[in-house]
Structure formats: C-alpha cells, structure tokens
Structure 1
Amino acid sequence: MSALQRAEWQLAELELLTSMFPRHDELQIPDQLALAELRAYVEGSASADSPPPPPTSTPDFLIKLKLDSAAMDRMDVVLSCAFPSQYPSVLPEITVRCAGLSRAQQTQIRTELNAYLMENCQGEVCVLSAVDWLKDNLQLFINNSLSAAPAPKKESSSPRPQEVFSRLWIYSHHIYNKTKRKNILEWSKELGLSGFSMPGKPGIVCVEGPHSACEEFWSRVKVLTWKKILIRHREDIPLDRQVKDSVDSLRKFTGFEEATFDPHGNRGNHMDLGQLYQFLNEKGCCDVFQMYFGIKGR
C-alpha cells in the first residue's frame, strides 16, 4: 500500500468518525493542523501534477463513549487513538480509560483489544471495530471488578517485604508521536514518578520512584506501538523503614519533565547530545550516557 493510499484511508475513516460522532464532546481532534495537512496531501495528490509531500504528522483523537452499564447507570469511556504514518498497514495506537476500572484492568483491556484487532483487522481501518468491541466486552470487566472481593488478610509474624526504590533508563528508537509523549507525561505524574523524557531520535525516558510504580509505568509504555523500545539500564535500591523519606532522598530529579536540547535536523528530531550529557552530569547521572551511546560524554 502506497503512502497516498494509506493517507486516503486515514482521511476517509476520520470523516466517517466525524459523521458518526458529530458533537464536540463525542469526538475531539486536538491537532487540527495535522488533519488539514492530511486532507491537503490527499486532495493535492489527486489534482496536482506535482503532489505535495506527505504530512509530517498524523492526527490523534479522542472518542468519548457513554455506555449503558448494569453496575453504573451510564459509564464514561474514553478511547484515545493515534494513527501511525503506516496505518492501516499497522495497528493504530489505542488506549482506553474508564473511571470504573483499575489501572491494571485498563491495561488488560488494552492488551486484549490489541490482540483482537491484530487477529481480525490487520491491514484494515479498525477504529469502529474497536468501539464495537468495547461495547460488547467492557461490561465483563466491570462485573469482574465488582465481584472480585479482597481476600481476607492473614495474621503473620513474617516481616513485611522490603520496599525498593527503582530508576529505569528506557531507550526507544524514536519518540515522535504527540499522544505517546502526552501519555508519558501524564502517567509519570499519575504514578508519582520523577525523571524526564527526551523526544526525537533516539528517544530517552528516565523514571524513578517506588519499584511498583516504575513497573506499572513500564507495563503501560511497552505495549504501545514502537519500532524498538527497551530498558537499557535499571537501578534497584532497597529502602529502610522510613519509606517516603528514603524515596525522596534517592531521587535525582525534581518532578517529571519533557526535556529538549537544541532540536535540529530536517524535522527537528535530533537533539544536541553534548547538552544532554551536561544535563545528566548536573543530575549526577553522567555514567548512563555511555550505556546509551557507547561513548564517554564530554
């Protein structure tokens, strides 16, 4: 499938979704410029002798559903979707949020939904299929949430497992997509993690905080669509009894931020690695530079 054919399919699906969810509170496309670029590319390629270049980004959007639920009168569900440039040759990046479900259940829904789309919709537009799947299956997750009663705690003389502070250094081939960048910022804040993310090529993410929160962050990030992503290095430090004080004293970063370092290149996707090294050096993390890039920074 050519780039023009993929763009035509993307635009056709977005126009269909707009007609099916006409109200602003049902369908939101934050980046209208990306949508305009997509439309200009499709329409310009059909009418011009020299077609315009493909758009530099693809639209991301939110679909807000109100589903009938036996457990809750009306259940608000938000489907967040981003089209990779190769869509529909590859699956879109879809996440699902629902206040009636735990984070673990939302992760499970995303995993099962992606598996369904992979099996039934590979190579085809599939957002409406995802919406239908949610309507058919979300109630099952609600029922399981309500019926899963916590197991009674047993008295035990064994000591409480020792808490652990973790720091994950994550490497990605690239981080361009606005939805992924937004998710990284929102999830780190939600989980109480500090650190930073550097978009572009390559992409770098560092998160630090309680071990369980770091693992939850990684479980969410790794299931998104990536060309390549891995934990390049990790640090796990046992804590003493004063858990909160210990966590705060071990942090090298204050809060979480997206950090850029003199973006350059044709699309501004490459960062100045010298400035990155200085940033890491100021945080007392300069040794990790060689782990990422195989050379000593300066």
Structure 2
Amino acid sequence: MGASGALHCGAVTRLGAGRVRACAGATAPSSVVMLGTTEMTNQEEAEMQISELDLLSSMFPYEEEFAVTDQLALAELKHYAENESAEVPSSKVQFVLNVKAEVPNASVVEFSMACALPFKYPTVLPEITVRSSLLSRSQQIHLNSDLKTYLMQNCRGEPCMLSARQWVKDYAAAYIDKELSSSSVTTASAIQAEVTTFTRLWIYSHHIYNKQKRKNIIDWAKELSLSGFCMPGKPGVVCVEGLQSNCEEFWSRVRRLTWKRILIRHREDVSLEGGGHAEIQNQRKFSTLEEKCFDAHGARGNHMDLGQLYHFLEEKGCADIFQMYFGVEGH
C-alpha cells in the first residue's frame, strides 16, 4: 500500500535515576546519554510504559479519543514500577485509541485501535488491532499486517504508540473500498455493536483467616453482582467473575486491606458484543459467590483438603487453574 514512510514520536522519556531514552528521530541534548542497544531492566520498561500512557492521556484527554480499558492492569504496572520487590504484573495494560480519517466520497470514518502493551514493551512491539465497521475482513487483515511491518521496521525498542496512531490516520482510509458511499458510512456506524468485557479473576492469598475480611469479600461481591467463591484458610483462594469494571472495583477494595501476600494468579477476559444480561450469565461458571470450606484440618483448622478443591474446580470446568495456583496437577 506504499505506507512505509518513516514516522517518529520525537519524544523523550525519563528512566530511573535521571536517565532518558530518546525515541527514534528525536534529537538528544549533549547531556543525554543515548542507551542505544543497552538492554533495559523490567523496571525501566514499566516506567517507559507509564510515561507513554501519561503522554497519551494528556494529548487525548477525552474518553472517545483514548481510554484505558483495564485500570486494574495499569494499577499493577504502576505498583511494580514503584516497588522493586513487587510481583510482576499479571496482565497487560489494554487501551483504545480512536482515530478519525477522511475516506474518499465518504466524509470521515473512525478507526479503533485496540492496544495491549506486553510486559517487555518497548523492547518488544505492542499488540495493536485496527478495526472499522467499514473494513472487510480481508481489508482489516491487510491493514494490520502492514501496520505491524511498519512498526518492525521503524519502531522496535522505542515507544511507538504515537507513531502507530499517525500511521493509521495517514494510511488506514486507503484500505477501504473506494466505492463506499457516505450513506453506507452512516449506516455502518449506526449498527456498530457495543462491546462489553466479562472478566474472571483468580486471586491467591498467603492466608485468609479474618472474619471481617471474609465478610467483606462476600458482601462486596454481592454489591457488585459478582459470582465465584472464597476458600478461607492457608492458602486463601478467591475467584470473582462478572463485568470487568466490577471485578476491578472488587480487586481495588480487597488489595487495600492488610495482607501478608495477595496477588492475581490468573485473569480471564471475554469480549461480548451487545453485553446483554443473558450473554453475561452464559459466561458465568458460578451462580453466586459463597465461601467454600473443604474438610478443614490442622492445628487451627485452617488447612483445606486441596483434593476436594480440585474436584470442585473440575466440576466447574476450571481444573486447569489448580496447577496455576499450586504448581502440580490435581487428582
């Protein structure tokens, strides 16, 4: 498509103790030490991601232009960047950039860039999928393939979201059928389905003994229309499922309590077009959230029968989670 012109973000991002890294095309002042091929630490990569997200937020302050769709992952990333001993984030930061471009004979068309930043970004490329209601499947595949090629050739190892956005703004319209009429643009935009995300969080705690915490877990889940279960004792296991925003609110409340250790062991996200009540209910593996005790034993009665936990998970179609928690296959 002839869309390989060099675009550069031209921004400078601070790293750690006063070090900076310049994006491709930016001119570095004499006091700046260019990192070149020096391998970045995980902490530096996390800091660069946060700096770039802050830049996007300041440049595109309205939600219809830029929106982080996974606030939980962003909170985990910030916590990791600020604490060297913190757990590695359990999920990628995901966000949407919406770009308006002119299409011949069809006024203005909006392209949506669904973006995810892998933990090692910008050492590795971001994951970007460009969509529009006016693109056929083959056109969308072609567009996304060319965008990836452009990023590989011009942006590897550098923050590149602004470059990717500019590429979409400049070239995406050329992938749409030239005969498209303005009336079809209006029709396609009107029928574009709303997308809702269903989330399931698998939370691990060193232990869950405190009665008030156990009550909070059940009460908050009920308040937020979340289902799942809580297994108290040592270790503690909590699963919640429901709308993504409600799961994030639940996790935000729970992690603020005092814990010896608590983290998200696994996360599942499913995009639902329409997001009606029936679709959400169909995704649930649990009908409500309840506390589950499996033959408590031990000196304080605080150890559960993990074999029974495995069979419970197996009945719910979640047996593979057992190995993620405990590192061994259940039986």
Give the alignment's TM-score, normalised by structure 2.
0.45
Rg larger in 1 or in 2?
Answer: 2
